[in-house]
Amino acid sequence: MDHATHERIAKWERRWLAASGLMSLTFVILIAYTLATEGGEIVQAAGRTDPATLTTSALFAQPGVRALGPNEYQVSLIGQAFTWVPNTVVVPVGALVRFYFTSRDVIHGYQVERTSINLEVIPGEVATLHYTFDEPGTYRVSCNQYCGSLHHEMVGWVEVVSAAEFARRQSAQAAPAEVDGAAVFASNCASCHQANGQGIAGAFPPVAGHLPDLVRADRTYPVKLLLNGLQGAITVNGTSYNGQMPAWSHLSDEELAAVLNYAVTAWDEPEALPADFVPYTADEFAAERQSPLSAAEMLALRGELELP
Ligand code: CUA
């Protein structure tokens, strides 16, 4: 290679180096600008957690919002197929919110629209970031990691309310009125099982025309089902399903008893239930809560039921 050719190549190499250096610099400036203006921070690891023992973990046994100090809140969130626990997070505007995330099963993504909150939620890992919402409003949360057949249904919400409204809701929560099973069903179950309890054939099994059969077969089975969830292939009244019912153990024993009592009577004739049926009590849920069952144990249990 003669000297002139060598010089020409060297000149182009310097230009390419300068261009790629400039691009890297631009990206760093953009990231720094976003961090400085959006009030966010880079997601950090905050330790590990065992997905199998979330119900007894300090951070995730009671997922939700808790006050850490004046105008500072902790939000513990669990991702599971195909919902967020809690699905709706309510925080006051202008407060420092410290989020902690983990997953009960597979990798999900928590992306809050119109904010810089966007992270992977990974089983076994705890991720944390803090954020301050400056605008009140309802922010939609999308799962942005493909997590299974109903990934597109995995939508959550962050409600950012005024300090006064936040205080009002907290005091309403502190003194709960009689739990309304219909309301619990509407806000937790109806998106899959539908408001009329009919489910969606092939995707979500019906509650109507089926739940009384489960009660007849084994009174404690629906209690275990709500606490532990169910995953795998089942048949309901001749139709096959292969999906996942999430565990609802984050609901209180009172809420679970109320929603079950609502669902066993809402659509079926009373005669569908055993003649000696008495309403479920919170104590029955408290008792079953002591012995959590694995997904495999739940599926085996359902296989043993004698169903019509
Ligand atoms: Cu969870 Cu996609």
Is the distance from the beta carbon of residue 207 to the nearest atom of ligand 1 less than 6 Å? Answer: no
How many angstroms is it from 143 CA to the middle of ligand 1? 4
Say what the pLDDT of residue 40 is. 57
Is the distance from the beta carbon of residue 145 to the nearest atom of ligand 1 less than 6 Å? Answer: yes
Is the distance from the beta carbon of residue 151 to the nearest atom of ligand 1 less than 6 Å? Answer: yes
The three-state (H, E, C) secondary structure of the chain, written as one string: CCHHHHHHHHHHHHHHHHHHHHHHHHHHHHHHHHHHHHCCCCCEEEEECCHHHHHHCCCCCCCEEEEEECCEEEEEEEEECCEEECCEEEEECCCEEEEEEEECCCCEEEEECCCCCEEEECECEEEEEEEECCCCEEEEEEECCCCCCCHHHCEEEEEEECHHHHHHHHHHHHCCCCCCHHHHHHHHCHHHHCCCCCCECCCECCCCCCHHHHHHHCCCHHHHHHHHCEEEEEEECCEEEEEEECCCCCCCHHHHHHHHHHHHHCCCCHHHCCCCCCCCCHHHHHHHHCCCCCHHHHHHHHHHCCCC
Kindly report whether the global pTM for this prediction surpasses the value 0.75: no
Say what the pLDDT of residue 174 is. 63
Say what the pLDDT of residue 51 is. 83
Say what the pLDDT of residue 304 is. 92
Mean pLDDT for each consecutive 10-residue tract of the chain (308 residues)?
A: 89 95 95 75 77 81 88 93 90 94 94 91 92 94 92 93 88 71 90 91 91 93 94 90 87 92 90 87 90 89 90
- Please report the atom of ligand 1 found closest to the CA of residue 79: 1
Is the distance from the beta carbon of residue 122 to the nearest atom of ligand 1 less than 6 Å? Answer: no
Nearest CA to ligand 1 atom 1: 108
Say what the pLDDT of residue 175 is. 59
Say what the pLDDT of residue 78 is. 93
Is the distance from the beta carbon of residue 107 to the nearest atom of ligand 1 less than 6 Å? Answer: no
How many angstroms is it from 272 CA to the middle of ligand 1? 37
How many angstroms is it from 81 CA to the middle of ligand 1? 7
- Please report the atom of ligand 1 found closest to the CA of residue 108: 1
